[in-house]
A and B are shown apart, each in its own frame.
Chain A
């Protein structure tokens, strides 16, 4: 137990340093104290269960499966890392600074970093990775954040300079999705993992299993504490919970809500909750085709959704209802407390539908995945019955993931009358979180120029108070226009055996194991 306490306090110390770094960064040159390396002798195997599909690829900048996220901090650190409270902390970059106009940024890199094959990591590698993410032909999850980068240069072996098209005060936050991989052979990015993290890939069978072992060349602050981390694919969430309760798995992720009471009652196990939540159960609508091209029809639907009941029944209370239809959770940084909630009101819904010319008897289609997220179907069944009370029909359709995606993804597709059940893992930084509704990103096709302009305005504001005013404007626009129906803020549920300490979940619902170890080792 002593070991546990000590490690936690260390982890918080790191966070504290990070927060300082962020504040000073916006103001000008920042210097961050050296992070103390923990002493750790690798011990034991951590078995980490994933339900449904396994890990399918290794390229950290073109994620193809959510199960891949834990590898980001274990194998492929970026210049910055995310912290439990949703801010960013130094990682491969030790410090950064911005020009006064916030249009040029410099990052300084750590000097002792090596890839797991022994090659040194330098500014050339950092630049190559950022440029690859910027390549429009590379489908990267990080591109949306840094699209506005105009030039990326290596100034010295350990310094890079980034020039932006328009000012931004949060370039480090924008950078955290960009991971540092080895680009010497791009064709092997998905099959051979070579990064600079505390662990390296020992064995990989796509869709099935992945084994990590300590990276002997690692010299950073989070050395590997496990001899082995095995990511094991389980056929379905129920059997995953079964293998966890019987002790075969040390940790499990994406646990069904209905299994939480069982795990909570288990003395040897614990649920690990994130400090803040930035992911949201969202129902997307096509705002360019009838009936949902009319804002009144979207508002009608928002009034017809009994968010409180849905949270109580479908999530068994383990979610924060998005009463005001906001992408940000009411408990997250940047939330506009003045937003007016959509009180559940079927009569108002009916009236707004009629105002929008949507006649009673109209049938909407709830388009969902069949093989996962049973809560979404439960929510849909509640809506189905409520809509029926005012004379509208909801046709629930469950599909396999490919069929489901085909209808609405990527942004720009027309899907009249469909309500797409989706879950969005938004970034914890409120500006970046709200950026989901900007043009070309949201499958709702809202493409609102005014909203886009507000986003860039918020991005360029260093002053917290002024930025919050713009954020409030964005949220109230979103809340009133309802381009997406935000139902509840809820994230992947993570559980661990009590003997495992130091693991945590970030606001987006992804697991972090870089500080995890067996208690006493």
Chain B
């Protein structure tokens, strides 16, 4: 047995290899991917793409309908709505993106701690998560916005915190199933320190589930941001987000039916694409579901 002389190496698993090609083989996933990409490019490149300045008033064209010059129409100050939607997307994606990062990192830490320590700590952490999940998100949102205001930063913090418990449950379940694998037991038995296993093996293996989850959380973040804007507590002017544009459009519905339509459609398309992408990501990345 030469294994006595040379330390036993457990081969790493690489379930994520070339997942992008696999993902794009699925037609609806490919469409969703292209849509998300197009939105991100359009929004990030807003200064280059947008036909007008986002804050250029035109008092002669208040509440305009769609024309060649203004494909999405104009708003209550005569600003071009296509431009507003593109720039508003920056705020929305910024909020969604950062809150996803926060929710994923905080939630994973929460869930992993619970799964790894087990016992009473696990019980406590999971019951807290359950309880927060049982509270209406919008209600907690209202209270937190009242407490911290509705700047972009505080919206990121609020949404990040709101989405933590669900992520924590998922992370815990993912890690638990990893901990039960023969692979983990083998690694433990050769004496690798637990934190190293955690960092080098368990985290990367639990990651697929979390990545898929991230795209769903991004969709939810866009949603909740829109809901908070709907009750008037979104980002502050002159900045706009898709949510605040939708809300303002709804307020001015009887002046211009077009105003709420386009921000609403953009939200719908973005969330649809993100959810679809999340679904397919999960199937592609999770070996059990393939």
Contact A384 B255 (CB under 8 A): no
Is residue B28 contacting chain A, with contact meaning CB distance below 8 A? no
Is residue A440 contacting chain B, with contact meaning CB distance below 8 A? no
Contact B77 A259 (CB under 8 A): no
CA A378 – CA B238 in complex, angstroms?
Answer: 10
From residue 487 to 508 of chain A, which have CB atoms closer than 8 A to chain B?
A: none
Of A261, A262, A313, A399, the contact of B59 (CB 8 Å cutoff): A313
A384-B237 contact, Cβ under 8 Å, with A312-B59, A313-B59, A371-B232: yes
Of A261, A380, A385, A398, the contact of B233 (CB 8 Å cutoff): A398
Specify the chain B residue showing the minimal Cβ separation from A373.
B232
Is residue A396 contacting chain B, with contact meaning CB distance below 8 A? yes
Which range holds the interface residue count of chain B?
20 to 34
Shortest CB–CB separation between residue B103 and chain A, in angstroms?
A: 24
Mark interface residues in B39-56 (1 if CB within 8 Å of A CB, else 0).
000000000000000010
A residues within 8 A CB of B55?
A: 385
Is residue A237 contacting chain B, with contact meaning CB distance below 8 A? yes
From residue 342 to 387 of chain A, which have CB atoms closer than 8 A to chain B?
A: 369-372, 374, 377-378, 380-382, 384-385
A258-B255 contact, Cβ under 8 Å, with A374-B248, A381-B77: yes
From residue 81 to 110 of chain B, which have CB atoms closer than 8 A to chain A?
A: none
Is residue B150 contacting chain A, with contact meaning CB distance below 8 A? yes
Is residue B139 contacting chain A, with contact meaning CB distance below 8 A? no
Contact B251 A258 (CB under 8 A): yes
Specify the chain A residue showing the minimal Cβ separation from B255.
A258
Is residue B253 contacting chain A, with contact meaning CB distance below 8 A? yes
Specify the chain B residue showing the minimal Cβ separation from A309.
B59
Residue of B145, B146, B252, B253 with highest tally of chain A CB at under 10 A? B253
Is residue B149 contacting chain A, with contact meaning CB distance below 8 A? yes
CA A478 – CA B157 in complex, angstroms?
Answer: 44
CA A403 – CA B255 in complex, angstroms?
Answer: 30
Contact A241 B254 (CB under 8 A): yes
Is residue A60 contacting chain B, with contact meaning CB distance below 8 A? no
Specify the chain A residue showing the minimal Cβ separation from B259.
A258
Contact A262 B76 (CB under 8 A): no
Contact B255 A402 (CB under 8 A): no
Shortest CB–CB separation between residue B77 and chain A, in angstroms?
A: 6
A378-B253 contact, Cβ under 8 Å, with A312-B59, A400-B146: no
CA A517 – CA B253 in complex, angstroms?
Answer: 31
Contact A313 B251 (CB under 8 A): no
CA A395 – CA B252 in complex, angstroms?
Answer: 23
A313-B255 contact, Cβ under 8 Å, with A397-B149, A398-B233, A402-B146: no
From residue 236 to 271 of chain A, which have CB atoms closer than 8 A to chain B?
A: 236-238, 241, 256, 258-259, 261-262
A residues within 8 A CB of B231?
A: 370-371
- With A258-B255, A398-B150 known, 10 other A-B pairs at CB within 8 A are A256-B252, A259-B254, A262-B255, A371-B231, A371-B233, A374-B248, A381-B77, A381-B238, A395-B236, A396-B237
The 3 closest A-B pairs by CB, nearest first: A370-B232, A371-B232, A258-B255
- B→A interface (CB under 8 Å): 55, 57, 59, 62-63, 76-77, 142, 145-146, 149-150, 231-234, 236-238, 248, 250-255
